[in-house]
């Protein structure tokens, strides 16, 4: 008597193809989930780093202004070839020069530095550039003084334009606007008007009582924005 053929267990070709298709779909889903998660993590990290840079920039501006040091600048007047001496401070609506005891790279232990702040136009709005130069004495500060001009009875120094250098540090970027103003405070006992904010500093013999950097944030995505910085100047008398 002939025995019936024995059937062996196994998978058909169609079942194998279906299993491979399901595994492929599952792998693609996992890969897309990992990609979305990685992109979200990168965006969060970039935003956090940007917020840290903005907070650090605000702190640097605060420290630079708080460390302002009254220093002299010796220069030669090109018109008369006579030597002149003025207190080293340039205060304009979009540019500022001063000597500070705070260094960008070494903090309060970096020695005296000449700091140049310049508001310039960037690709996505206004930006604030910062140059730091070594201060070695009145003659080093006088290298950027071009002479003295007289407005009424007040003499003020004339400074060379601030140059944008390859090493210029972008302290703030993508701003709606930025401008500097200076607090003019009368000397004790002077019979003149009350303190007032001016857009340009014209006194060649003393520093302003305070400095304000007014910043308007840009129209970019919501994030930590640079804020207006107002710092009183402790050393306002001539050195």
The DSSP annotation for 171-222 comes to EEEEEEEEEEEEEE-PPTT--S---EEESS---SSS--SEEEEEEEE-SSSS
Task: Determine the Cα–Cα distance for residues 126 and 76; give it in Å rounded to an integer.
Answer: 35
pLDDT of residue 55: 65
At 132 the three-state DSSP class reads strand
pLDDT digits (tens, 9 = 90+) for 162-205: 988 888 888 888 888 889 999 987 665 554 567 889 988 888 77
Question: Which of residues 130 and 186 earns the better pLDDT score?
Answer: 130
The confidence score (pLDDT) of residue 95 equals 93
Residue 93 has pLDDT above 80, yes or no: yes
pLDDT for 88 beyond 60: yes
178-to-70, 84, 204 alpha-carbon distances in Å: 25, 33, 25
Tens digit of each residue's pLDDT (9 = 90 or more) over 202-232: 887 788 989 998 888 777 655 555 667 888 8
The 10s digit of each residue's pLDDT in 118-128 is 998 888 888 88
Q: β-strand 89-91 against 95-100: which pairing, if any?
A: antiparallel
The average pLDDT across 54-61 equals 72
At 184 the pLDDT is 87
Whether residue 49 is predicted with pLDDT greater than 70 in this model: the reply is: no
Query: DSSP H helical segments within the chain, as ranges?
Result: 13-66, 138-142
Distance CA 49, CA 223 (A): 11
Pairwise CA distance, residues 235 & 219, whole Å:
37
Confidence of residue 4 (pLDDT cuts 50, 70, 90): low
Across 50-54, 71-75, 165-169, least confident range: 50-54
pLDDT at 117: 92
Average pLDDT score over residue span 27-31:
84
| pLDDT of 101 above 70 | yes
H-helix or E-strand spanning residue 75: strand 72-76
Answer yes or no: are the C-beta atoms of 159 and 90 closer than 8 Å.
Answer: yes
**What pLDDT is recorded for position 238?**
52
Chain-centre distance for alpha carbon 77: 33
d(CA 108, CA 5): 94
164 or 51: which carries more pLDDT confidence?
164
């Amino acid at each position: 008597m002939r025995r019936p053929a024995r059937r062996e267990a196994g998978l058909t070709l169609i079942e194998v193809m279906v299993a491979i298709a399901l595994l492929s779909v599952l792998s693609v889903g996992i890969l897309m989930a990992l990609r979305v998660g990685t992109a979200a993590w990168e965006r969060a990290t970039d935003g956090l780093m940007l917020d840290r840079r903005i907070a650090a920039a605000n702190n640097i501006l605060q420290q630079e202004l708080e460390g302002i040091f009254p220093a002299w600048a010796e220069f030669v007047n090109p018109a008369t070839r006579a030597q002149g001496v003025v207190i080293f401070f340039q205060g304009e609506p979009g540019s500022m020069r001063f000597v500070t005891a705070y260094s960008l790279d070494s903090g309060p232990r970096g020695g005296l530095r000449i700091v140049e702040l310049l508001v310039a136009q960037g690709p996505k709005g206004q930006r604030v550039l910062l140059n730091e130069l070594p201060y070695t004495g009145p003659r080093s500060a006088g290298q950027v003084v071009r002479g003295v001009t007289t407005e009424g009875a007040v003499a003020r120094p004339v400074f060379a334009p601030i140059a944008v250098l390859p090493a210029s540090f972008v302290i703030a970027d993508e701003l709606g606007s930025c401008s500097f103003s200076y607090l003019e405070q009368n000397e004790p006992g002077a019979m003149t008007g009350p303190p007032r904010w001016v857009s340009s500093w014209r006194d060649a013999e003393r520093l302003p009582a305070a400095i304000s950097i007014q910043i308007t944030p840009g129209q970019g995505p919501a994030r930590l924005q640079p804020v207006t910085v107002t710092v009183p100047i402790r050393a306002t008398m001539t050195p």
